A and B are shown apart, each in its own frame.
Chain A
């Protein structure tokens, strides 16, 4: 999985939710009316419509005491069904897990990542089946044992039963998640420190900057210590124990380095991500870089020693960010694609950052309509006119935000109106000193708030203020990246360069990742309880599992089918292609028959819109990748959408559960 962030817009999400729910409800009501017409005659639809407002009556008369009573009963029931046995399995895993996790060949960040991923994966996969089964089997068992009869013959409302069940299972699940989460945190904190086999750290020892590098492999332990300008001391021992015994001072030094390295890696970095675009060899903007033939399209490349540039546009850069970090802290991690070998194959590539102040404008006439930039010409110091239908009209430049602009072809255009080109004016360029990068490793670059700048036009050197002179009025900053090694290529992706804010503690990021697991399990409880209102235990479990698997693994495929991006057409067209053995990429003959098929398919695809939205997007809840890679879980891009998804399903699930329980005969034979 990549850790690409998805843009989340609350209003768009609400609107999308409204459309999906409305479409679903209309479909259900039409189906119910049709069915009741067959079974109850003309009065059937009236009966159905009379039932519609009952849910709201029921909901508004909820009694918290009854809900809590049912929740408590559900909790007790689950505990008596030995749901807490999962703690035992969890304890076993953690007691022996580290036996299988040592990998002395891996870099330190990967070792830390392994431990964090192991904890979060273990919590998820241990709790998932337990939560799924208890929430899917609770109600059907109650109905089978007829225990529910003694509840529904009391003044307990159906919504109270459903909410009580959800709360009961939810609270048990919460306890499980919290206990496992805390245990996991303590385990990571202690176990990783104990088992690190490769690390390096620099710190001051007796006033000298000292670098300690520790490598422990099957053949023994090697420690390299470089203190000040003195030559590197290399010590080799058969094991850590013998190092401690033979050289206790050095051992203490390695332990200090171990803890310091761990503290540096067990953090939650807070990145400010920018948008990425490129400048080609001709200096014109382009959406993607050079394709080096790597089939994984995560990164595209810039050619070294040419005009190729990777461009990051950062937004919301304020003075506070610069002040907090005593400048701007950039972290980068690039991948090289080498076209020639040489003596310097082991050396890193040479790279240069250039800070650019840019202004983005579109031209609008007096009515506010955007005007094509090709039609605009300057008429004065700050006056412009455009020729529209042969008439010269006065136009004004209006500033636009970087987020509203994208590259299309070789020009910048408005995202909402790709016909309108955007003028991007670079008013100041400040190149930074070049530096060698460590491939796949972290490259931290601190850009001070005061910079020396040599103005090539005037031939003068002067001071530039990072915030005042380079960040534009909208709080945006552009950073261009050039590779200076001719003949080599450097791969770039959006997350390869970001502005680093002061990091959060690991505990905060970890807690957010646990919160993601909790939200995912809450969704399972919602879906499990809802499906158990109209299905028996095994089938409800199967349905919930299918929703989970489709929502986790096939959601993007489903979306592509709905949007028509999948080759081979809709359901009927694809059947025809299979029968007639027509290749997916072949165009279908333009006949009336195929036109009809395509029309029917497009109608069916509209129906698939509902199906797509019934399946929850379980990918939203995956936050373990962030913290395992050392990043904080962003609120707006990860936590907020997850909470949104869980809440979005709460209402419809309650409606479905209420009608399923109300319209079924509990005693049906």
Chain B
């Protein structure tokens, strides 16, 4: 929004609970205890002969604290996924150090407390949802009863109860992301690494995913996500790092990075022309310049969610701002015939 002054006030038409859950800040507070420490981390991809091919990361240093939602941002090829894979030990650093949950990245014991959702679904497609979660549960040495309980809980949580006995190869992309998320959480991890968590999800799925991330934060877990869907990151992240060509360009709290301290935004209920003129005059006396006066717009996501929610509550009702072409034509025909 580009208005100058700030009077924040909820509009009457603001979406209900689910949307509010995203907009309202989470109550849990991140501590200063770093869960991940990265120091001078560099990664150079080499060719068969050992000659440098690509410098994917260049001297990256940052800490990620316990209980925060941290976003890794950047355009394609900026080093987000490389950083994630270095954290998981899937790649080895060319130089620098990584400490994750107090262990080195290659130490397998750290994985007891980590959940990882890969960018795409790399799960075993010949298994069904129950077999998949049971398999990963066994990798965490869970007992049979524990596995049965958790498998049911997470399948319900990600909304796959009706499809739990279908092989994953029959799943849609959204369903695959959901089961991927369930496997990442099966061990109730302290640290969750999400690679492009909302990719492939519909707006409802995206909403659920963001709710879940905030819920994890409320439970005191640390979430690291990388994404190039900036709106999603902005909605859930406490802190972000922006990478470009393997280098750290921005690092800090989202609010701090986005707030423009030398400008003020003011939002009111609807004013008529005269009231606007008066406010302009008052503001002018205080030396402020009005850059624009406009009606605020909601986001498309908010509109979509509101529409779906209202449709659920009142089936059959239509919210049409513009008359559909087919109706307009039939109306014209009927008017002509009269």
Q: Hey, which bits of chain A sit against chain B, CB under 8 A?
A: 39, 63, 65-66, 68-70, 72-73, 76-77, 80, 145-147, 149-158, 662, 665-669
Name the B residues within 8 Å of A157 (CB-CB).
Answer: 108
Q: Contact at B111–A147, with CB atoms within 8 Å?
A: no
Contact of B135 among A69, A149, A668 (CB under 8 A): A69
Per the bound structure, the CA–CA distance linking A146 and B88 in Å amounts to: 14
Contacts of A73 in B (CB 8 A): 124, 127, 135
- A63, chain B: closest CB distance, angstroms: 5
Tell me the bound Cα distance from A632 to B141 in angstroms.
45
Interface readout for B100-118 with A: 1 if CB under 8 Å, 0 if not?
0000001011011010101
Q: What 0/1 pattern do residues 119 to 163 of B give for CB contact below 8 A with A?
A: 010111011000000011011110000000000000000000000
Which of B33-41, B89-97, B224-232, B249-257 participates in binding chain A? Answer: B89-97
Among B45, B54, B89, B138, point to the contact of A152 (Cβ < 8 A).
B89
Report how far A373 CA is from B111 CA in the complex, Å: 74
In the complex, A665→B109 CA distance in Å? 18
Instruction: Return the contact of A667 from the options B85, B126, B187 (Cβ within 8 A).
Output: B85
> Do residues B111 and A669 form an inter-chain contact, with CB atoms below 8 A?
no
State A150–B184 Cα separation when bound (angstroms): 9
**Which of A76, A154, A158, A668 touches B140 (beta carbons < 8 Å)?**
A154
Q: Which residue of A lies closest to B106 (CB)?
A: A662
B114 contact set on A, CB distance < 8 A: 153
Partner of A156 from B108, B118, B122 at Cβ < 8 Å: B108
Does the CB pair A155–B88 fall under 8 Å? no
**Given A76-B127, A669-B45, 7 other A-B residues pairs in contact with their CB atoms under 8 A:** A66-B139, A68-B138, A73-B127, A150-B123, A152-B90, A153-B90, A154-B187
CB of A668 within 8 A of CB of B136, answer no
13 A–B contacts, CB within 8 A, in A order? A66-B138, A69-B138, A80-B126, A147-B122, A147-B124, A153-B116, A154-B140, A155-B141, A156-B111, A662-B106, A666-B90, A668-B45, A669-B45
- A150 lies within 8 A of B183 (CB): yes
Judging by beta carbons under 8 Å apart, are A149 and B90 in contact?
Answer: yes
CB distance from B249 to the nearest CB of A (A): 23
> Does B287 make an interface contact (CB < 8 A)?
no
The distance from the CB of B77 to the nearest CB of chain A, in whole angstroms, is: 12
- A154 — which chain B residues lie within 8 A by C-beta? 111, 136, 139-140, 187
Contact assessment for A150 and B138 in the assembled complex, using a CB-CB cutoff below 8 Å: no
Bound complex: CA of A480 vs CA of B207, how far in Å? 95
Q: In the bound complex, what is the Cα–Cα distance between A147 and B118 (angstroms)?
A: 10
Per the bound structure, the CA–CA distance linking A157 and B122 in Å amounts to 19
Chain B residue with minimal CB distance to A63?
A: B141
Min C-beta distance of B327 to chain A, whole Å: 49
Taking CB atoms, residues of chain B closer than 8 Å to A69 are 135, 138-139
Given A73-B124, A76-B127, A155-B141, check contact A150 B118 (CB 8 Å). Answer: yes
Let me know if A65 and B138 touch, CB within 8 A: yes
B residues neighboring A (CB under 8 Å): 45, 50, 53-54, 85, 88-92, 106, 108-109, 111-112, 114, 116, 118, 120, 122-124, 126-127, 135-136, 138-141, 183, 187
Residues of B within 8 A of A151 (CB): 139
> What chain B residues lie within 8 Å of A72 (beta carbons)?
135
Closest 4 CB pairs of A and B: A69-B138, A146-B122, A154-B139, A80-B126
**A410: min CB distance to chain B, Å:** 65
Q: Give the Cβ gap from B253 to chain A, nearest Cβ, in Å.
A: 29
Q: How far is the CA of A149 from the CA of B118 in the complex (A)?
A: 8
A146 and B118 within 8 A (CB): yes
Query: Chain B residue with minimal CB distance to A76?
Result: B126
**CA gap between A150 and B140 in the complex, in Å:** 12
Pick from B123, B139, B183: contact of A155, CB below 8 A: B139
A155 to B186, CA, bound (A): 13
Q: Are A155 and B140 in contact (CB under 8 A)?
A: yes
* CA of A470 to CA of B109, assembled, Å: 70
Say yes or no: A39 contacts B108, CB within 8 Å: no
Q: Which listed residue (A65, A76, A150, A158) contacts B116, Cβ 8 A? A: A150
Q: Do A39 and B50 form a contact, CB below 8 Å, given A63-B141, A80-B126, A150-B136? A: yes
- Distance of A132 from chain B, by nearest CB (Å): 22
| A155-B140, A665-B91 known; A149+B111 contact, CB < 8 A | no
Q: Which one of A68, A146, A150, A152 has the highest number of Cβ atoms from chain B below 10 Å of its Cβ?
A: A150
Are A145 and B122 CB-contacts (below 8 A) given A153-B111, A154-B111? yes
A77 to B183 alpha-carbon distance, docked (Å): 19
Does B85 contact A155, Cβ atoms closer than 8 Å?
A: no
Set B112, B122, B138, B140: member contacting A149, Cβ < 8 A: B122
Task: Closest A residue to B180 by CB, please name it.
Answer: A150
Give the distance to chain B from A509, nearest Cβ to Cβ, in Å. Answer: 40
Provide the residues of chain B in CB contact with A668, threshold 8 Å. Answer: 45, 91
In the assembled complex, the CB of B201 is this many whole angstroms from the nearest CB of chain A, namely 19
How many angstroms between the C-alpha atoms of A73 and B132 in the bound complex? Answer: 10
Q: CB-CB < 8 A to B120: which residues of A?
A: 146
Q: Which residues of B contact A669 (CB under 8 A)?
A: 45, 53-54
Q: Give the docked Cα–Cα distance between A653 and B116 (Å).
A: 30
A156 touches B139 (CB 8 A): yes
Q: Identify which of A65, A70, A153, A155 gathers the most chain B CB atoms within 10 Å of its CB.
A: A153
Which residues on the B side are within 8 Å of A152 (C-beta)?
Answer: 89-90
Residues of A within 8 A of B89 (CB): 152-153
CA distance A662 to B54 in the complex (A): 23
